[in-house]
Amino acid sequence: MKSDGELMDILNAYDLTGSYRAAAALCGCSHHTVKKAVEDRAAGLAPAVRRARLIDDFLPQIERWVTESRGKIRADKAHEKLVALGFTGAQRTTRRAVAEVKTQWRLGNTRVHRPWITEPGLWLQYDFGDGPLVDGRKVVLLVAWLAWCRYRVVIPLRDRTAPSVFAGLDRVFRILGGAPTYVLTDNEKTVTTGHVAGVPVRNRDAVSLGRYYGVSVLTCEPADPATKGGVENAVKLAKADIVPTDTNLLDAYESFTQVQAACEQFMAQINDREHRATGRRPVEMLAEERQRLHPIPDMPHTTGLGVTRRVPDNTPMITFDYCQYSVPATLLGQSVWVRHHPGADEVIVCALDAGGPTEVARHARTTRGIPAIDDAHFPGYHPKTPGDYRIRARTDAERSFLAIGEGAGLWLKEAAAVGTERMFQKMAHAVELAALHGHTDVDWALGHAAVHGRFATGDLDSVLASKGLDLTRAHASETTSLAQGTKGWNMLGTNMIDDTNSDDVTEEDGR
């Protein structure tokens, strides 16, 4: 049953719209209820009056509980409280009453969002998302969103420390082609150190960053993601397309470089697609907004990157806190920035490229006398083992001998190790044999001679002959054995001379 006020609202809505369903949508009831009320009024019948309910006397208490809990109280808990106050009705009645009160409370406390109309070149929002795992460590995704043109930038970071974040923002500004007037983000320690009477206290490093690039770094209200909903949505899209999940079936990333390539591919796709709100591609609108962005310095903000070190011209190693750390060989003769990350006890090295500061090396902190070396920083390096000499031909004779095959190199090492005499003559003889019998047979003979220590004069010819070049020799194979059989043993114990033949022989002998 509807109350008198609800019936009047229903009739007024019908008079306004002239439709049962439209009036029902405005009043939040069924169109059958609207039809019944209109027909009763047309027939001159008095509107039905809602009967008094057992729970009506407790409605003020339920309304107070809903208001205090901000619409979170459960119906079963409310029923327990009502029973303690003397309510004797069923729990079903309580659930219906609590649902009605919650509906009314939400209608009066719903946050109304007004569309945000921004101007070109004013606002940039950025936030962070959890990236994929690389070498057991989770990558951080720095996602920036230019408000007017809806252009999205995704930069992978190895951590969320202030130097990494500021270096990522520098790359964002260079990708956009300039910096906006305001930069909005969350209240993280890299930007806000705390709040006093609701007023955020800025981190001095963030203030220095804003002054250097000519931007105002602002923060949204705590626990209010709707303040920067645009970048929140961009983070959701980036995580769905870049991070491997069961839904996108992406393979795990083997290196940080692959994550960077995936982020670049995502930016190219998402910014070249028509945006639903504007009906235009963000990459086209960025070209217009770029004219409103102010230029940034050619030199990035390097205050928080650490201390400066110069890489020597011939050794990609730097010294930090009396310890040595390797850097990529491509940085020889250049300047880098190195700092210590206390949280992970790591030493981080950064350098500059066309896109701004970038991390080039990360080592676990070492001690004096024990250099921290990454083999990837030394291209073409092969570890040297004492006694393992590299064979390099320097004369035509040496080249001709080594051209026989791998057996020649093995023979050379083994023969030199035992002090073989007249090696040059023996090598020249091997070259002559290779010209007669072919490189394959002579290479095989040299390898076997090296394995069995046959380095004397004539040994190579002997080994070569044993390979099968002497046709008068019997050779064993899969079907033929050189071992004697036991068939001859079957004649043991038998008379080998026939009696008839023996008599004839005797007579002939007598003659």
* Both structure tokens of 286: 């960025």
Please state the domain count of the chain: 4
* The pLDDT of residue 223: 66
Instruction: Give yes or no: residues 154 and 280 share one domain.
Output: yes
Same domain assignment for residues 105 and 140: no
Percent of the chain with pLDDT over 70: 87
421 vs 415: CA distance, rounded Å: 9
CA of residue 98 relative to chain centroid, distance? 48
The proportion of the chain whose per-residue pLDDT surpasses 90, expressed as a percent, equals 37
Residues of the chain by 3-state class (helix, strand, coil), percent to 5? 45, 15, 40
Q: What is the pLDDT of residue 509?
A: 47
Is residue 213 a part of any domain in this protein?
Answer: yes
For residue 107, what pLDDT is reported? Answer: 78
Domain membership flag for residue 387: no
Q: What is the mean pLDDT of the chain?
A: 85
Kindly state whether residues 146 and 259 are assigned to the same domain: yes
Minimal CA–CA distance to 296: which of 172, 185, 144, 120?
Answer: 172
The pLDDT of residue 511? 42
Distance of CA 274 to the CA centre of its chain: 27
Residues 46 and 141 reside in one and the same domain: no
Report which of 300, 309, 303 is spatially closest to residue 355, judged by C-alpha positions.
300
Check if the beta carbon of residue 183 is closer than 8 Å to that of residue 217: yes
* Residue 131 sits in the same domain as residue 40: no
- The answer on 231 and 149 residing in a single domain is yes
pLDDT tens-digit profile of 263-276?
999 999 999 999 98
The answer to whether 154 touches 266, Cβ cutoff 8 Å, is yes
Instruction: Give residue 508's pLDDT.
Output: 46
Which of the residue ranges 25-29, 445-449, 495-499 would you say has the lowest mean pLDDT? 495-499
What pLDDT is stored for residue 146 in this prediction? 94
Q: What is the domain range of residue 342?
A: 306-377
Which residues make Cβ contacts (< 8 Å) with residue 405, sequence separation at least 6? Answer: 439, 440, 442, 443, 446, 447
Last residue in a domain, options 247, 263, 289:
289
pLDDT > 80? residue 322 = yes
- Residue 479 belongs to a domain: no
Together in a domain, 102 and 128: no
* Greatest mean pLDDT range, 247-256, 374-383, 483-492: 247-256
Say if 502 falls within a structural domain: no
Q: What confidence tier does 365 reach under pLDDT thresholds 50, 70, 90?
A: very high
492 is a domain residue: no
Given 109, 139, 171, the domain boundary residue is 109
Strands (E), 226-345: 307-310, 317-320, 323-326, 335-341
On whether both 104 and 130 belong to a single domain, the answer is no
Residue 203 DSSP symbol: P
Flag the least confident range among 214-228, 321-335, 497-511.
Answer: 497-511
* 297 falls within a domain: no
Residues 405 and 318 in one domain: no
Whether the CB-CB separation of 140 and 158 falls below 8 Å is answered with yes
Q: 260 in a domain, yes or no?
A: yes
User: Do 184 and 257 belong to one domain?
Assistant: yes
Measured CA to CA, the distance from residue 261 to residue 314 in angstroms comes to 31
Q: Are residues 31 and 140 in the same domain?
A: no
Token readout for 143 is 């996602």
> Are 368 and 279 in a shared domain?
no
C-alpha distance from residue 476 to each of 150, 448, 472 (Å): 82, 18, 13
* 3-18 pLDDT, tens digit each: 667 788 888 889 888 9
Band the pLDDT of 198: cuts 50, 70, 90.
confident
Tell me, what's the pLDDT at 353?
A: 84
Residue 510 lies in a domain: no
Look at 507 and 266; give whichever has higher pLDDT: 266
End-to-end CA distance of the chain: 155
Helix (H, G, I), strand (E, B) or coil at 458: coil
User: Which CATH number covers residue 233?
Assistant: 3.30.420.10
Where does the pLDDT of residue 349 fall: very low under 50, low under 70, confident under 90, or very high at 90 and above?
very high
